[in-house]
Structure 1
């Protein structure tokens, strides 16, 4: 894994107040200002044990890709896309590390985890070429693109992507945003109760990050804080209440959430 001046940005709450900073071992160097436009260290630090980590970003737009890995496309018999096949998850579904994933009230069907690489946009980007798009990616994070599978095709006339993927708690992001990582050298691992169920290389991606951002920006202006989940590969399976699901990407960390019963 190539590291190019790695920083790990986190958001946290402490005593009813929210803040952000860089994670340095077991401490957070607190910053002030705008994460994407002039964040400055305050000189203060906090012990990680003193705070609750939040999702490291509050996206204005939260996009997810489908069918973006060669291995999964080959197994499922899907054609290789030329343009990102994307859907929108509501930003209101976002939760942070340690928060519980819950199915919608009354839903008794399958709920899948999908471990993915998330791209965090750092500057406004519209109709960009790939070099401009690459420069607009602030950093990388872990995403669990949770899906209520039985809702997706509940109506044969209308695939319900937003409903299936946008329920409350269906967008875990975190634990940090890493800058300075080479995405192509990374792998995504997902463990259920400690047993690895997904383990796939990001180098198998069909449409790579800079091209994803470039192509989407032709149709949709992206803004600082927007998140794009790059799609998942083989091994996405249903969860059962009581399970712990952990998405790990080396250099970013582990995003762990419990899957609980409906509230």
Structure 2
């Protein structure tokens, strides 16, 4: 199991492996060949960045039994895109758009793809998962389902800063049985194990790869459990996943 972070390093960024309170700087590609530079820094001194650098961001909708309740379960994974410009770093604000009225958090496990994948079996898909991180699939409900809903979820799910991820990519986890918890201003508002998935990680990734070629670094949000609430400016949202850590973002 390894714990990778990306952090600001002068005018650019670097990857590192977390080793207790220290971070060992890496050179090269964490998804391919890399080596240690020999430089170590204190984790507490670093400004963490979104650890993912994908070519695309996909997401699975309606994928927890606890989220759907008595509603009919989907017969196949329901997939949508979020633009790269929706990505946001840990500790940076989720910005509520000027005309938004009902913005919600959605705490989620986010999978990071480690190799090119096309028309993969579930077994091949699972073996292609490099690691996982925490994510917040921020959503404007009025634009998604309300009186002002759009035909597509382009702004409901894709507005700038609507995809915070982090703080680290962790490898070697049991992705289908992790405890996920969302806290709003310190109050637990979501808590569920990923064992509650309707479509497990292998099934979802395999399904996507049947039509869309997944590239190294691409990320997949896997759905949110339970119920959600509106966010207000001044709130703080924390997504914590067992074995990964806490993704924290203020709301502005």
Please classify the TM superposition score into its range, dividing by the shorter chain length. over 0.9
Structure 1 residue 14 displacement after superposition: 2.5
Q: Are the counterparts in 1 of residues 104 and 139 from structure 2 also a CA contact under 8 Å?
A: yes
Where 1:172 maps in the other structure, the secondary structure is strand
Counterpart position of 2:156: 164
Counterpart position of 1:100: 93
Residue 178 and residue 157 in structure 1: after superposition, are their counterparts in 2 closer, same or farther (change >3 A)? Answer: closer
Distance in 2 of aligned mates of 1:64 and 1:185: 19
Distance in 2 of aligned mates of 1:40 and 1:11: 15
Counterpart position of 2:13: 18
Runs of 4+ in 1 over 6 A off after TM superposition: none
Q: CA RMSD in A?
A: 1.4
Question: Any gaps of 5 or more consecutive residues in structure 1?
Answer: 1-5
Structure 1 residue 15 displacement after superposition: 2.2
Q: Are the counterparts in 2 of residues 151 and 160 from structure 1 also a CA contact under 8 Å?
A: no
Distance in 2 of aligned mates of 1:218 and 1:201: 27
Residue 24 of structure 2 is aligned with which of 16, 25, 29? Answer: 29
Q: Are the counterparts in 1 of residues 113 and 218 from structure 2 also a CA contact under 8 Å?
A: yes
Structure 1 residue 50 displacement after superposition: 2.6
Where 2:154 maps in the other structure, the secondary structure is helix
1:203 aligns with 2:195: yes
Deviations 1:146-205 (A, max 9, x none): 011112236678433121111111110000011011123311100011110000111010
Counterpart position of 1:150: 142
Q: Are the counterparts in 1 of residues 62 and 223 from structure 2 also a CA contact under 8 Å?
A: yes
Q: Are the counterparts in 1 of residues 67 and 226 from structure 2 also a CA contact under 8 Å?
A: yes
**Greater share of helix:** 1
1:87 aligns with 2:80: yes
Deviations 1:37-76 (A, max 9, x none): 112222211111332100001221111111111122224x
Counterpart position of 2:61: 66
1:140 aligns with 2:132: yes
Residue 55 of structure 1 is aligned with which of 50, 54, 60? Answer: 50
Q: Are the counterparts in 1 of residues 60 and 77 from structure 2 also a CA contact under 8 Å?
A: yes
Residue 104 of structure 2 is aligned with which of 90, 105, 112? Answer: 112
Where 1:184 maps in the other structure, the secondary structure is coil
109-118 or 184-193: bigger deviation: 184-193
